[in-house]
Amino acid sequence: MLDKKKSNLLLCITGSIAAYKSVDLARLFIKNNFDVRVVMTEASKEFITPLTLQAISGHQVHENLLDTEAERAMGHIELAKWADLIVIAPCSAETISRLTQGRADDLLGAIFLASEAQKFIAPAMNMNMWSNQTTQQNIEYLSSIGMDIVGPSKGEQACGDNGYGRMSEPEEIYETIMLTQNKSLIGKKIIVTAGPTREQIDPVRFISNNSSGKMGFAMAEAAAISGAEVILITGPVSLSCSPQIQRLDVQTADEMYREAQSSMSDADIFIGCAAVADFKPVHANIQKIKKTDEDRLNIELQKNIDIISSLAREFPDKRFMGFCAETERVEEHAKSKLIKKGLDFIVANDVSKSDIGFDSDYNEVSVFTDNSHQFFHKASKNLLAIQLVNLLSKENQSLH
């Protein structure tokens, strides 16, 4: 966490309908002991007034590159030196392009070039603008030179489209930035399992489940944001991850276990988010099973290895966070698994609710330890993952 004496945050607002969210973002930082000052581009003032941000921040809003009222008329240099963190939220496609070019013909661009502060960008634009190859190349470049990208999120947009491009919600931006400031996971190695596993019955049929892998991938991304080295072991899913994450793709529970076991010796934390199939066929047919006149087909099943409990027994000096999906008596089943599997944390969610859990972008969970219980209200899986990794980070910090 930043020292209170140095908690100076410069919030930059660009031309986007999402500018209204910047008010809540400013409030969040002010509430948590940050001194917030605001820079607005000309386009942003079409969506929200400087007076609103002045009232929230308690400071005059900065708008012009050459401000004659600033000390020595060098306002951009003063602000660049003052800021510990710079956040552009929302950040339009135009601004992203200008930053990539190193343009300094407006106040925001000049500050970015002159400041050595940690910089965060929260993109906001139409889904097609976001997915455009030029925008993606610009984002990749900005990321490569040390700027942290937060979002965007997926959802309905002002233009009526539905996809990636929405600015992340203020709480997610705030929690992400706070996660980068907590240094307790830097240098740690975290293994995350995600997605379903598949147990083949024959070459074309398998036993699996409805897991999309979204929660596991979100956990891996959050762990990477914290500064940890991350290995993501995933079953078959149609998701991508950041290049700094080492990804290992597997199919079966046995394959997932072997990959996890081989990585555990120098790991610090294991996060078991995968929905591992409980059973597998005793014998998988080499050829496709043909349909017959029989009304029934008997397939003999055997239990799969319980990956997380096996690893917890093998590596008792590591920290383990497990996930469980329940349809009833959630707390009772979660506490039982926490003890039985030898875990430090277990994250439980009720998958009987259609708006959370499997294949949803949202979730709500309860986290149990031996002596505590925390409930996290319904939120995006990205935000929940950040909150859960923050929880791990604080726990890790308390151990030192």
Q: Calculate the alpha carbon distances from 246 to 30, 69, 141, 151, 388 in Å.
A: 36, 51, 20, 20, 20
Which has the minimum average pLDDT: 83-92, 228-237, 245-254, 374-383?
A: 374-383
pLDDT of residue 289: 86
Quote the distance between the C-alpha of residue 194 and its chain's center. 14
Tell me, what's the pLDDT at 3?
47
Domain 7-181 has CATH 3.40.50.1950: yes
State the chain's mean pLDDT as an integer.
Answer: 87
pLDDT digits (tens, 9 = 90+) for 24-53: 999 999 998 899 999 999 999 999 999 999
6 pLDDT more than 60? no
Percent of the chain with pLDDT over 70: 92
Question: Cα separation of 22 and 92, whole Å?
Answer: 13
pTM score, whole prediction: 0.81
Report how far Cα 274 is from the mean position of its chain's Cα atoms: 16
Asked if pLDDT for residue 343 goes beyond 90, the answer is yes
Q: Where are any strands of DSSP class E within 175-318? A: 189-194, 199-202, 205-207, 229-234, 246-249, 269-272, 279-281, 301-303
Higher pLDDT, 155 or 139: 139
Output the CATH code of domain 183-398: 3.40.50.10300
- Whether 159 is catalytic is yes
Handedness of CA 384, 250, 301, 290 (dihedral sign): positive
Q: What is the share, in percent, of the chain residues with pLDDT greater than 90?
A: 48
Q: How far apart are CA 220 and CA 228, in angstroms?
A: 10
- At residue 74, the pLDDT reads 44
Query: Do the Cβ atoms of 92 and 43 come closer than 8 Å?
Result: yes
Residue 71 has pLDDT above 80, yes or no: no
Rounded Cα distance, 4 and 282, in Å: 60
Domain boundaries of the chain, sorted by first residue: 7-181, 183-398
Q: Which residue is catalytic, options 12, 159, 241, 324?
A: 159
3-class DSSP assignment, residue 223: helix
What digits encode the pLDDT tens for the residues 265-308? Answer: 999 999 999 999 989 999 888 888 888 777 788 888 999 999 99
Element housing 212 (H / E): none
Residue 366, token pair as written in the block: 């309860």
Phi first, then psi: give them for residue 73, nearest 5 degrees: 55, 30
**What contacts 351, CB < 8 A, 6 or more positions away?**
325, 326, 327, 357, 358
The mean pLDDT of 188-217, rounded to a whole number, is 91
**What angle in degrees, to the nearest 10, is found between the helix axes of 93-101 and 107-114?**
50
* Pairwise pLDDT comparison (319 vs 74), residue with the higher score: 319
Contact 273, 192 (CB under 8 A): yes
Is the pLDDT assigned to residue 216 strictly greater than 70? yes
128: left (phi over 0), alpha (psi -120 to 50) or beta: alpha
320 is written with which tokens? 């383990």
**176 and 152 Cβ atoms separated by less than 8 Å:** no
Tens of pLDDT, residue by residue over 170-191, are 998 998 888 888 777 888 999 9
Q: Quick check: do 7-181 and 183-398 share a fold?
A: yes
